[in-house]
Amino acid sequence: MEKQLLHINNIPAVIWGASSDKIYLYVHGKSGCKEEAASFAELACAKGWQVLSMDLPEHGERKGEASSFDPWHAVPELNAVYDYLQDGWKKTALFANSIGAWFSMLSFAGKSLEKALFVSPVLDMECLLRRMMQWASVSEEDLEKAGIIQTSFGETLSWEYYCYARNHPICRWEIPTDVLYAGQDHLTERSAADSFAERYHCRLTVMENGEHWFHTPEQLAVLREWMQNSLI
């Protein structure tokens, strides 16, 4: 499979596959990187697509840089990459994982995409942050006063981030979307997945014994089959 390294506005990226007029944008989640798109690209390229994956702030080649892994940095970057794809390809589709799906919905609502594929998407960030605050026994007043609070389970709670999520709910998503949800997902509740799928007419697939991170041989087999069946 052909592989081209490039930078888009100083964002490290990879284009996978032979020349085509249609391309998927692959958006990774937390702790991901552009190279993780290889397995998806293998399937997509076999169907005549190319795939572009990128390193979001603080990930891949960008670990340690000043930009933070937050929506006010990620969304402008995703919009810049979208504009790049619009200039070079006739058709653009989306694959996004976990928080990458939330960043993508913030970025691309109302824009032209052929289809979206979401794996373990974060669908309601405000709700997730409130749950994390409960896990950490932190009130809104505590977080507002402190600004930033480190938790015992490895997450950082931020008042700025919480306010952003509260002020930017996902209220529009018109792109035909397939969602793969894990029944044991500890970040997104089943009711949120069902509600999102119903509201935006998504095709929802549930692996009941799956986890937010698809990583066991059984989970990866389900993921691969779902990707194969969901590709256009």
What is the average pLDDT across 181-193?
A: 95
What is the average pLDDT across 133-147?
A: 95
- Alpha helices by DSSP H, listed for 12-109, are 38-46, 71-88, 99-108
What confidence tens digit (pLDDT) does each residue in 78-131 have?
Answer: 999 999 999 999 999 999 999 999 999 999 999 999 999 999 999 999 999 999
Structure tokens at 38: 């290889």
The domains of the chain are located at 3-124+174-230, 125-169
Percentage of the chain surpassing pLDDT 90?
A: 96
Query: The tokens 């799906």 sit on which residue?
Result: 101
Please give the model's pTM, rounded to 2 decimal places: 0.95
What confidence tens digit (pLDDT) does each residue in 33-57 have?
Answer: 999 999 999 999 999 999 999 999 9
Question: What is the pLDDT, as a whole number, of residue 27?
Answer: 98
Q: Which residues pair with 151 in a beta bridge?
A: none
Structure tokens at 137: 């026994």
Any residues with CB less than 8 A from the CB of 171 and at least 6 apart, and which? 109
What is the average pLDDT across 151-159?
A: 92
- Name the packing angle between helices 159-167 and 71-88 (round to 10°): 50
Q: For all residues of the chain together, what is the average pLDDT?
A: 96
Structure tokens at 69: 């892994």
**CATH for the stretch 3-124+174-230:** 3.40.50.1820
Q: Is residue 65 very low, low, confident or very high in pLDDT (cuts 50, 70, 90)? A: confident
